[in-house]
């Protein structure tokens, strides 16, 4: 309820601090998703740049040409990193909006170029980000699931079999969130090219680290990564989150297209509103200036050498984790992660029990399913904490090894959800959980 009398400033801030006491501890390298921390110097710069344009609104590029210029310059920095300096695009609020725009663009492109298609489909790997399923729901494009192989990469041969006259878009990930592997982008793009349709690469997670991984491995004489970006013929668009391995402030993402003709399908204009001529480049109306300025600032501040340094530190930490996992009996890494994201399971115990045991020790490792696993995204901020993480992993594995599946905590919830034969019911349980979050009886302590 809105207070009748406003609170004093100090009470407001102290209450905010109290609310945050139980949040995940990302500052000490204890979380492995959600926050990408490149150090306090970068954080201070992000905050300063964000506040410079705290009130500005990119909804009207004529009113705030500074934001238009910064957005244009950010896009010009990102496009060469993703394989095509001539690519054009838009800054969005995050990976979900970038993906939504890519699917909306494909749908509207098909309406113009394939008007005979009334029930459009897109091919997406089972490991693709759920934002594609959200886009399918929003834009009435059926998501056709492409299975993955034992290496957790999309099965290109299966994609070819699943492609129909209704297919308008083929999707691959560089790299896929669950297991940190790159889908066979060249084969998927070739399929799209043969059919005369579009191909989108979701590089929301990998787009701001893979270019620097390639450069570092080339310097060391190690074979380069598989083809993954706009350098691949047939790839027509790509998405990339700047607030992940670009270390910018949330929310900042990019969606890029081969050319302006394709990008036009993303835009919307309306000339008959009494309020004036109206144009929208993306899903958002009001577009806060803070994330745009912060992205511009940190990319100029770090430069290529700064990103190379952060990539090198993250890769070193990841290698230390991989070696450490191999040395703990029963733990197994899934697939062959290409950079700094991985998942591992437990062959002689309940991996979800292990996750709960690690959480009790203050570490937040995300739970996964199909197959059950724990998940980690490694940044430079984790490097100093690897010895402590591995020591706790070894102790926690000894603690839970051989125990039956847990009957409480997140372990029990994931174990139950993963075994429900009715996936519709599982989805309904997830929605019910969301619906309960604003229930006063479920709220956390004040």
Residues whose CB is less than 8 angstroms from the CB of residue 24 and which lie 6 or more positions away in sequence, other chains included: 30, 31, 34, 35, 364
pLDDT for residue 31: 86
pTM: 0.90
pLDDT for residue 330: 95
- In whole angstroms, how far apart are CA 62 and each of 42, 69, 275, 318? 30, 11, 16, 45
47-299 maps to CATH 3.30.110.30: no
Which residue numbers in the chain have pLDDT < 70? 407-423, 425-427, 430, 433-435, 437-438, 440-446
Element (H, E) at 434: helix 423-436
What's the residue count for the chain?
446
Q: Over the range 323-360, which residues count as b (16 or more CB within 10 Å of their CB) and which as e?
A: ebbeebebbebbbebbbbbbbbbbeebbbbbbbbbbbe
Distance in angstroms (rounded) separating the CA atoms of residues 213 and 58: 33
pLDDT for residue 22: 84
The distance in angstroms from the start CA to the end CA of the chain is: 14
- In whole angstroms, how far apart are CA 372 and each of 44, 59, 417, 423? 38, 43, 11, 16
pLDDT for residue 443: 46
Distance in angstroms (rounded) separating the CA atoms of residues 71 and 124: 30
pLDDT for residue 58: 85
For residue 412, how many other CB atoms are within 10 A of its CB?
16
Residue 48 in tokens: 């300063």
pLDDT for residue 421: 62
pLDDT for residue 445: 37
């Amino acid at each position: 309820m809105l207070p009748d009398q406003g609170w004093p400033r100090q009470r407001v801030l102290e209450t905010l601090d109290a609310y945050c006491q139980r949040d995940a501890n990302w500052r000490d390298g204890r979380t492995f998703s959600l926050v990408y921390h490149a150090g306090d110097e970068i954080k201070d710069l992000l905050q300063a740049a964000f506040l410079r344009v705290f009130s500005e609104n990119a909804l009207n590029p004529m009113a705030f040409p500074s934001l238009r210029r910064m957005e244009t310059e950010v896009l010009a920095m990102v496009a060469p990193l993703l394989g095509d300096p001539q690519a054009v695009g838009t800054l969005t609020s995050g990976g979900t909006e970038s993906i939504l725009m890519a699917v909306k663009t494909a749908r509207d492109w098909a309406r113009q170029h394939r008007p005979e298609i009334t029930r459009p489909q897109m091919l997406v790997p089972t490991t693709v980000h759920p934002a594609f399923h959200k886009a399918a729901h929003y834009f009435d494009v059926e998501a056709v699931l492409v299975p993955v192989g034992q290496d957790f990469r999309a099965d290109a041969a299966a994609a070819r079999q699943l492609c129909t006259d209704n297919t308008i878009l083929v999707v691959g990930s560089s790299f896929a969130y669950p297991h940190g592997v790159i889908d066979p982008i060249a084969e998927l793009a070739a399929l799209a090219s043969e059919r005369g349709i579009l191909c989108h690469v979701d590089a929301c997670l990998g787009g701001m680290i893979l270019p620097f991984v390639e450069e570092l491995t080339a310097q060391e004489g190690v074979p380069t990564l598989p083809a993954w970006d706009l350098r691949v013929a047939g790839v027509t668009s790509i998405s990339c989150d700047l607030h992940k391995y670009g270390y910018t402030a949330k929310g900042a993402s990019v969606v890029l297209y081969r050319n302006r003709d394709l990008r036009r399908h993303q835009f919307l204009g309306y000339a008959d509103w009494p309020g004036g001529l109206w144009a929208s480049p993306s899903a958002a109306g009001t577009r806060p200036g803070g994330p745009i300025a912060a992205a511009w600032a940190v990319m100029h501040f770090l430069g290529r050498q700064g990103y190379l340094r952060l990539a090198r530190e993250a890769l070193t930490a990841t290698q230390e984790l991989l070696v450490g996992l191999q040395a703990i009996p029963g733990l197994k890494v899934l697939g062959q992660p290409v950079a700094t994201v991985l998942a591992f399971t437990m062959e002689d115990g309940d991996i979800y029990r292990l996750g709960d045991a690690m959480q009790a020790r203050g570490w937040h490792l995300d739970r996964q399913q199909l197959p059950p696993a724990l998940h980690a995204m490694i940044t430079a901020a984790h490097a100093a904490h690897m010895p402590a993480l591995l020591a706790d992993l070894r102790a926690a594995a000894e603690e839970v090894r051989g125990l039956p599946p847990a009957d409480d905590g997140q372990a029990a919830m994931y174990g139950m959800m993963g075994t429900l034969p009715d996936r519709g019911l599982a989805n309904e349980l997830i929605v019910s959980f969301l619906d309960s979050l604003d229930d006063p009886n479920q709220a956390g302590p004040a």
